Structure 1
Amino acid sequence: MALLVHLLACTFGLGSWVAINGLWVELPLIVSVLPEGWELPSYLTVIIQLANLGPLLVTLMHKLRPGQLNERAVIYAILSVGILACFLLAFFWRETTVMAGMAHSTAFLVITFFLSLVDCTSSVTFLPFMMQLPPEYITTYFIGEGLSGFIPGLVALGQGVGISKCVNVTQSIENGTETLQSPHAIETQYLPANFSTEVFFFFLAAMMTMSLVAFALLNRVPRMYQLSTENLVGDSVASVSSGLDNPAAEGVPGGGKGEEAGQSRPLLSKPGYTVSQLAFIYLLVVWVNGLTNGVLPSVQTYSCMSYGTVAYHLSAALSSMANPMACLIAMFLPKRSLVFLGVLSLVGTGFGAYNMGMAALSPCPVLQGTAAGNAIIVLSWVFFTGALSYVKVMVGVILRDQSHSALVWCGAAVQVGSMVGALTMFPLVNVYHLFQSGDVCNTKCPL
């Protein structure tokens, strides 16, 4: 029973961000077809932030009309919309319309808005639903959420997204009345994909369908646990409700006296936090998610691509793997100390600062063209993602213990951090062009 619930919780978590993560890893193929070209990511950034209307409405409903929002109905609705949107993308993503004399991928952008609405709203609906289950399953849910980025990344790597090679080409140079041929020009060419973008979108639809089925089955779990614990003695009930959120229960002695004490003082098993500590926890949520969901992803290409396509793909795949690995570590080695989580956030921020520095130095970062430089940038991305993912999991577990409302506001803080990070980076990347891209085959850097 427990293993099945863990599997369902993980599969349910897959539906949280799999659609948007899938779109981002597929962009290298999409931008070569749609008329917006490389401006398309800036459009998507704005669309995703507009989709924060969904979590805003859910949060306001919880605040203004507590208890009246049917979260299960909302989850069924958004997962169904996500499945439909993925299928529509597979058929209509290439369609364009002419507006103001220019072609635009209107269908792709509109459907992407609904996918973004699904994923953003999941932050304030999926987590509160998981409160109905014993606390150990929330970590499994975070593993599934991490896999929602890792699995599409692996599929995209198998598809061959972004893999390039340097080839010699012949260029024609006009020189007055003569046309000279230059046989020594080098050009970056991307290898064709192993399967089409349409197949990839069908894969995303299948992932969303699996998440919907898992949610439908999870709806039966709280009733099953209630029936299975009705005839158990008090200490057995305590053991079911312990886990990550009840470390104090491990030291309660057995027998009638210990059981009676546990019943008379049930709140002692949950740590209390002051207003300033809760403010610090929510600040961590905003900061960590701002870095991992907004700031650093905006410059990962600039940070890694100058070291070559191998370094870029390794950093993308391994950093995605670091997320679920951090969740597994949090499951077996939980650490609730706010001091520890604060220090770990600083360590992760330090690795993020190195990544940002290499992006700012693009297309000529330090140690470019060396094995050490490649290894350092890959490891920096892995440790950055892993450290902050551990913080996100443990903060989620801590707030889960406080109340249903605390977890809802946790989801809102996730979206606020992500939005602030993305909106901060958008003008720096797309308006002021503080980060410069380089051609792997032709960029020459000073020694």
Structure 2
Amino acid sequence: MALLLHLLACAFGLGSWVAVNGLWVELPLIVNALPEGWELPSYLTVIIQLANLGPLLVTLMHKLCPGRLNEHAVIYAILSIGILSCILLIFFWDKTTIVAGASHSTAFFILTFFLSLVDCTSSVTFLPFMMQLPAKYITTYFIGEGLSGFIPGVLALAQGVGMAKCVNSSQTLGNYTDEEVWSLQTEYHSPNFSTQVFFSFLVAMMCISLAAFVGLNRLPRTFELSTANLVPDTVGSVSSGFDNPGVEADGEGEKSQRTVEEKSRPLLVEAQHSMYQLACIYFLVVWVNAATNGLLPSVQTYSCMPYGNLAYHLSAALASVANPVACTIAMFFQNRCPLKS
């Protein structure tokens, strides 16, 4: 049962950011097909930030109407929206419409907004649901969340990028002399599999996440899911007395109780930070997130443009792979150093 719960928790975390991560690593191929071209990441950055409306609404519902919001229904809704958006993306990602006299990827932008809404809202709905499980399963969930960026990155590397080369092209002017004009044109080779196939992988990963959530809801609430196991692993178990009530002697019970209190005492000490330290910590968090999720992705095309499409493809795919790998390493090798005044 424990192994099954670990697998379900990991698969559930797989659907947290898989859609947005998949769009970023697929951009090197999409920019050659959509009219926005190399400006496309700037549009996507704005759309993804607008999708933070979802977490804001969930937070307001918790504050204004506590207990009225059904977390399970919200998770079912956002996962279903994510699957439907990915399916529509397979067929309409390259469809364009004329807006203000220019061709724009309207369908792609709308579907990107809904996918971003799903992923942003998952940050404030998936984790509260996982808090109902013991702490060890939350770690597994974070591994699955890391895989939501790692797997699309690996798929993008396997997909490859359409290598470009310059070829001579002739064009007849159509006058009486039938004069031909020669020019160089860019010719792109096809990748190992198409963009539609890549989006189909995203649909499959979202379906796996939804199936895992259904499985977590339908599993019987055994002792693994009891509130007695919601304490961290570093604290002694307090459920041993419930297994055989009345068997333990008073001396052993008091000794066990003292052991639990001694082990749990350090957890009750809260670190005190000054206003300067808190301001510095929050500033660093804001700056790192603004650079990682806003500034750097929007200018990545311009920084990679001089080096060609292959450099852009590798930088986008490897960045998506490196982020979850670094988070996984930090999970096992923790190094917390509070700011000193």
Q: TM-score range by the shorter chain?
A: 0.7 to 0.9
Alignment of 1:82-101 (within 5 A): 82-101=82-101
Contact kept, 8 Å, 1:143 with 1:323, in 2: the verdict is: no
Distance 2:100 2:142 in 1: 45
Q: Which amino acid aligns with 1:58?
A: V
**Aligned residue number for residue 216 of structure 1:** 214
Q: Distance in 1 between matches of 2:225 and 2:180?
A: 84
Query: Which AA in structure 2 matches 1:64?
Result: L
How far 1:110 sits from its partner (Å)?
1.8
Q: Percent identity?
A: 65
The whole-number CA distance in structure 1 between the counterparts of 2:257 and 2:95 is 66
Write the deviation string for residues 356-381 of structure 1: whole angstroms up to 9, x where unpaired. Answer: xxxxxxxxxxxxxxxxxxxxxxxxxx
| 2:60 equivalent in structure 1 | 60
Query: What is the alpha-carbon distance in structure 1 between the residues aligned to residue 330 and residue 268 of structure 2?
Result: 18
| Structure in which a larger fraction of residues adopt helix | 1
Are positions 1:13 and 2:13 aligned together? yes
Cα distance in 1 for partners of 2:102, 2:58 equals 37
CA distance in 1, matches of 2:139, 2:312: 29
| 1:197-276 matches, cutoff 5 A | 197-219=195-217, 223-225=221-223, 241-243=231-233, 246=234, 256-260=254-258, 262-263=260-261, 266=264, 268-274=266-272, 276=274
1:300-345 deviation digits (Å, cap 9, x = unpaired): 34445545666554444443333332233234323333359xxxxx
- Normalised by the length of structure 1, the TM-score is 0.61
Q: 1:229 deviation in Å?
A: 7.9
Distance 2:280 2:131 in 1: 22
Cross-structure match for 2:293: 293
Equivalent residue of 2:334, what SS? coil
Secondary structure of 1:68's aligned partner: coil
Task: Say which structure, 1 or 2, has more relative contact order (CA 8 Å, 6+ apart).
Answer: 2
Query: Aligned residue pairs: how many?
Result: 321
Larger Rg: 2
Instruction: Note if contact 1:17-1:119 (Cα within 8 Å) is conserved in structure 2.
Output: yes
> Partners in 1 of 2:14 and 2:116 — Cα distance?
15
Q: Which runs of 5+ in 2 are unaligned?
A: 238-251
The letter of the residue matching 1:167 is C
Choose 58-67 or 31-40, whichever is displaced more: 31-40
Distance 1:203 1:70, change over 3 A: same
Tell me which residue corresponds to 1:320.
320
For residue 241 of structure 2, what is the aligned residue in structure 1?
none
5 Å matches for 1:168-183? 168-170=167-169
* CA–CA separation in structure 2 for the residues paired with 1:155 and 1:134: 32
How far apart are residue 50 of structure 1 and its match? Answer: 1.7
* Structure 2 partner of 1:4: 4
| Secondary structure of the structure 2 residue equivalent to 1:148 | helix
Supply the distance in 1 between the matched residues of 2:37 and 2:328 (Cα, whole angstroms): 39
Per-residue CA deviation, residues 138-189 of structure 1 (Å, 9 max, x unaligned), is 333222222222211222222223x424435357799xx9968668x6x654
- CA positional deviation for 1:49: 1.9
| Runs (5+) with no aligned partner, structure 1 | 231-236, 341-447
Residue matched to 2:166? 167
Instruction: Tell whether the 8 Å contact from 1:86 to 1:201 is kept in structure 2 after alignment.
Output: yes
1:249-279 superposed Cα distances (whole Å, 9 cap, x missing partner): 69xxx98435335259856425513364665
TM-score (norm 2): 0.78
Shift of 1:51: 1.2
One-letter amino acid of the structure 2 residue matched with residue 155 of structure 1: L
Shift in alpha-carbon separation, 1:271–1:88, aligned structure 2, 3 A: farther
For the residue of structure 2 that corresponds to 1:223, the secondary structure is: coil
Counterpart code for 2:28: P
- Secondary structure (helix, strand or coil) at the match of 1:98 reads strand
Provide the rounded CA distance (Å) in 2 between the counterparts of 1:100 and 1:46. Answer: 19
Q: CA RMSD in A?
A: 3.6
Report the counterpart of residue 423 of structure 1 in structure 2. Answer: none
* Bigger mean CA deviation after superposition, 290-299 or 203-212: 290-299
Query: Is the CA contact (8 Å cut-off) linking 2:22 and 2:149 kept in structure 1?
Result: yes
Shift of the 278–154 alpha-carbon distance from structure 1 to 2, 3 Å rule, reads same
Cα distance in 2 between the residues matched to 1:98 and 1:9: 44
1: CA distance between counterparts of 2:290 and 2:302? 18
Shift of residue 80, structure 1, vs aligned partner: 0.6
